[in-house]
Amino acid sequence: MKLFFVAQFLPYPLTDGTSIYIFNRVDRLRAHHDIVLFAPTRRSCDEEALRFLQERRWVVETISKPSGLSKFKAVMARLKALSSSAPLHWVMGWDDVIGAAIERKIQVHKPDIVIVEHLAMTRFLPYIKRATNAKLVLVDHNVESLWHAQSARQFGFTLKGIIHRSQSGSVRKTERAMLGAFDMTIAISDTDRETLQQMVPSARVRFVPIGVDMGRFIPQHDAEENDLIVFVGGLNVGTNVDGLKFLVHEILPLVRQKHSGARVEIVGRAPTSSILALNNPPITKIIADVPDVRPYMARAAVCVVPIRPKSGVRLKILEGFAMAKAMVSTSLAAEGLDVVDGEHLFIRDDAQSFADAIVKLLADKTERQRLGASALALARKKYSWEAACARFEENLAELTGNATCPQES
């Protein structure tokens, strides 16, 4: 089939969940389908990203931000969006340029299916519909209205909480409308699928699990350091920033009361000033913008995901599973994964129980090995990219009535 993907940005470098998810899925589907990826170039790393994808023989279409675009136009575009249900941060001053480019490229490539990645990109649906009568698929990486609602509860009646509460309503209107406008919506967890299906019972919503590269993330037991706790993730993402403050200010002091040698390494890209302020070697250490996170994960005795508002499925949990790491996570961070507390990882939500779980694992290598082995077995069984792509193809076949090529064994 001829597939045309529309994404917010080019899926490289592979340092965030969205890029990892899109890259691995599209790269594998290319073996069986004629694929074009469209994404605007608007980041400093996009020149490198475009070169990398083209070297892998991807067909990439893009459009760059027009020169001389004023901040005034960007502000006016957001003010205009006040009258719509679209959240303001989705809107850019050159949306009309992006939309027109999408329309032209679809007309040139004549795809069988247009696949839109992320709810934010559905603002270009009018351009897509003018260009084609092809089937339309939305890949909804996260139930964003639910995330905003959870964030609003977390931050209460502060300014941040009020903004999240307002955005939740706007996003929910968009989610409902798009569920009806697309021929199929793909959710990346079964929990998200149920939530979206309840919003619009008549919509065709399907679940396709996320995956992990089992050949890239492999166990390295000899590298483990007994006292080391590791977090890996984007260090400029609001949910991660909040979770890391929770870890350092509330959880870690409780851990060190019982395990005085415990220390934390926080590994990720683009740390904010509030994350850099957490740096206090040797107890807490910020390690920014590393080319490969695997050596840091390998050294961990315990990997942690102390995220409170839900935001999609945590790729870092699956990567930890593939490396057979003992993990402690909040219930919201692990939601959507087919995991059992105490069998694949420890799920804890308050600071004391989270700390107690870490202490238990730091003190007991046998328990770490048991948990890691069970997590690895689950990742191999249910969360390989090959399995995820096969499920994705099954849904495309359902949509078009066409048989798809079998996956390689």
The domains of the chain, with CATH numbers, are 2-211+384-400 (3.40.50.2000), 221-382 (3.40.50.2000)
Q: Is the pLDDT of residue 409 over 60?
A: no
Q: Is the pLDDT of residue 16 over 50?
A: yes
Q: Which amino acid is at 41?
A: T
The share of the chain scoring above pLDDT 70, in percent, equals: 91
- Average pLDDT taken over every residue of the chain: 90
Query: Per-residue confidence at 407, pLDDT binned at 50, 70, 90?
Result: very low
Query: What count of Cα atoms within 13 Å lies in the side-chain half-sphere of residue 161?
Result: 8
Q: Is the pLDDT of residue 158 over 80?
A: yes
pLDDT given at position 406? 42
pLDDT given at position 257? 98
pLDDT given at position 146? 80
pLDDT given at position 162? 78
Query: Per-residue confidence at 311, pLDDT binned at 50, 70, 90?
Result: low
Q: What is the pLDDT of residues 349-402, one digit of tens each?
A: 999 999 999 999 999 999 999 999 999 999 999 999 998 999 999 999 999 887
The share of the chain scoring above pLDDT 90, in percent, equals: 69
CA–CA dist 85, 80 (Å, integer): 11
Q: What is the mean pLDDT of residues 177-206?
A: 95
* Residues paired with 60 in a beta bridge: 37
Q: Is the pLDDT of residue 82 over 70?
A: no
pLDDT given at position 404? 46
CB 255 within 8 A of CB 355: yes
Q: What is the pTM of this model?
A: 0.84
Q: Is the pLDDT of residue 153 over 80?
A: no
Residue 347, CA distances (Å) to 303, 331, 334 in order:
12, 6, 8
Q: What is the mean pLDDT of residues 59-75?
A: 80
Q: What is the pLDDT of residues 207-223, one digit of tens each?
A: 998 899 999 999 999 99
SS (H, E, C) 146-172: HHHHHHHHHHCCCHHHHHHHHHHHHHH
Closest CA to 271 of 284, 252, 282, 283: 284
Residue 4, CA distances (Å) to 42, 140, 162, 177, 330 in order:
20, 16, 38, 22, 36
Q: What is the mean pLDDT of residues 155-167?
A: 77
Q: Both tokens of residue 301?
A: 């005795």
Q: What is the pLDDT of residues 89-119, one digit of tens each?
A: 677 778 999 999 999 999 999 999 999 999 9
pLDDT given at position 301? 98
